[in-house]
A and B are shown apart, each in its own frame.
Chain A
Amino acid sequence: MMGGHISLSSVEVRLSGRSILAVKDMQIRQGEFVGIIGTNGAGKTTFLKVCCGLIKPARGIVKLDGRDMAGLNAWSKANVRKHIGYIPQAAEYNAELPFTLRELVSMGRASVKPLLSPLNRVDYEIVDNWIDRLDLSERRSQTFRSLSGGEQQKALIARAMAQDPEILMLDEPCSNLDFNWKYQITEIIEQLHSESKITILMVSHETNLLPEGCKRAILLHEGGILADGDIEDVLDPNSLEKAYRCRIDVLKLAGRRYTVNKS
């Protein structure tokens, strides 16, 4: 049976004695596409890191497919995370290293294969398949650092998908991209979700980047959940005005929701 279920109960993350994230009770079901939105410093990245066990909460329980992350040793935790595809913000990876695109995508297989077991022909077939599917075939032997920002993002998605993930976590995958690339990347993410039915958690500043397939949104504000539910309800001007502290209108265009500052 495919996994991808996350549950958080009474979770609190503290930094320097201050609470930076508090989640009372939350279930993210297998196959859901959840958009995580909020102001700067609202706790979006922290939320994502708590969900995959990168940040240990001061209190509360985080379960991945029913397994309490706090109760696992480092080895078991790594085994649980094997099927998490994680795409962090650019500051958390070294884009200057001369890895070729194929080498980078093949890193996805490192999570799945046991230690001391080198990648084989089947692994490289999976890698090449994802390179082709994301239309990067011509860039295969180019270095990651020589790719454009949009192509790099595609390469990171290919890397995560080569891992055969049950959960895909993306932290601002469209930041620093032009509007055409932003559109392309979100289209790819939506397509992956509709084809593979994996759980997707996507952090985004811009509400219009959450594709039509994203049916649920979580609005974070100052480390707390301001709204959680159907995206149409969460992207309500009243909720957004509380978070952003300005007058907001929400426009729907071609299946996407655009927030506009009215003041």
Chain B
Amino acid sequence: MDSFFFLVILAGAIAGASTGLLGAYVVGMRMPFIGICISHSAMVGTIYSILLGVNPVWGPVIFSALSSMSLGMVRPGRSRIDANVALAIFFNLMLGLTFLGIGLMHGSRSEVLGLLWGSLLFVKKSSVVVITISGLVFAVFAALFNKELKVLLFSRTIASATGVHESFVYCFFLALCGLILAVNLPLVGGLMIFSLITCPAAAAYQICKGHRSVIVMATVFGMASAVIGFLVSYYLDLPTGACIVIVSATIFAVSALYRTFRGQWS
């Protein structure tokens, strides 16, 4: 194997681990759609940065931060609209803006289409540094606000009613969610990132007991999905993104079967 592929595997492992860790919170809050929503808003940011001829680094970060803040305004029990319905409407808007942007583009659209599927095979060292830093920032946040995040996972209503500084922690979480998704988007792609957020975390929730084990296993499953998916695609000469998605779904299926045959919840 070429030494370059070790960089690809490293990038995949870090992207998988950070999205897996993020997924543990997103899935636990019953908002898996938030990942695809924010990643698509990051995609909109990139497309319109390219269209306007400005630096495509800031567009996705600004757009995903704005969309995170908008989603933060949807309050449980206080908003007239269900959070998941709000996410679905937001996603449709982002999808519409994405295809409008693609339609307005002249010349090659490969750069933009790469955002849908990702371009893990064209990863640069600088990108690995950026996704590592963003992943570490999120991990530090999760460790520092562990006690508050646990209450938010269990019930945002309880968190809010009992003075857990729910608004502050939730908005901080959404902002970092936007950051993680924006920096991983060019590598993983808008479609695959959804799979890496939901499947590893959902698998961990199937088999784990206790919050800490969920966090660890979601991170490990995310990393394993990306690395195994890449190795399968390399040796069998198959599309990388598709292999990663299938591996992550398989990990979930095996976990669900394990829980079923173990036959207990404890």
A75 & B168 in contact (Cβ 8 Å cutoff): yes
Q: Is the CB of A146 within 8 A of B147?
A: no
Smallest CB gap from B213: residue in A: A98
Q: Are A49 and B77 in contact (CB under 8 A)?
A: yes
Contact A86 B158 (CB under 8 A): yes
- A contacts with B: majority SS: mixed
Residues B151 and A107 in contact, CB atoms below 8 Å apart: yes
Instruction: Decide if B155 touches A99 in the complex (CB within 8 Å).
Output: no
Interface pairs A-B: 9 shortest CB-CB: A81-B163, A93-B155, A86-B161, A82-B163, A146-B265, A110-B147, A78-B163, A92-B157, A111-B162
Q: Does B232 contact A (CB under 8 A)?
A: no
Kindly identify, within residues 74 to 115 of chain A, every residue whose CB is under 8 Å from any CB belonging to chain B. 74-75, 77-86, 88, 92-94, 96-100, 103-104, 106-111, 113, 115
Q: Does B30 contact A (CB under 8 A)?
A: yes
Q: Would you call B258 an interface residue if the criterion is a C-beta within 8 Å of the partner chain's C-beta atoms?
A: no
B99 part of interface (Cβ distance < 8 Å): no
Q: Which A116-146 residues have C-beta < 8 A from chain B?
A: 116, 118-119, 142-143, 145-146
Judged by a CB distance under 8 angstroms, whether A34 is at the interface is no
Residues of the A chain whose Cβ atoms lie less than 8 Å from the Cβ of B154: 93-94, 97, 99, 104, 107
Please name the residue on chain B nearest to A55 by beta carbon. B78
Interface residue? A62 (CB, 8 A): no
Pairwise interchain contact A110-B210, C-beta atoms closer than 8 A: no
* Interface residues, chain B, with chain A CB atoms under 8 Å away: 28, 30, 76-78, 80, 144-148, 150-151, 153-155, 157-158, 160-169, 205, 208-211, 213-214, 264-266
Contact of B158 among A55, A56, A88, A98 (CB under 8 A): A88
Question: Which chain B residues lie closer than 8 Å to A163 at the CB level?
Answer: 162
- Among candidates B76, B155, B167, B211, residue contacting A103 with C-beta atoms closer than 8 Å: B211
The reply to whether B155 and A110 form a contact with Cβ atoms under 8 Å apart is no
Q: Which residues of A contact B151 (CB under 8 A)?
A: 107, 110-111
List the B side residues contacting A81 at CB < 8 Å: 160-163
Q: Which of A88, A93, A107, A111 contacts B163 (CB 8 A)?
A: A111
The 28 sampled A-B contact pairs (Cβ below 8 Å) are A49-B161, A54-B160, A54-B161, A75-B165, A78-B165, A81-B160, A81-B162, A85-B162, A86-B157, A86-B158, A86-B161, A88-B155, A92-B157, A94-B28, A94-B155, A97-B214, A98-B208, A98-B213, A103-B210, A107-B150, A107-B154, A109-B147, A110-B150, A111-B163, A115-B145, A118-B146, A142-B266, A145-B265
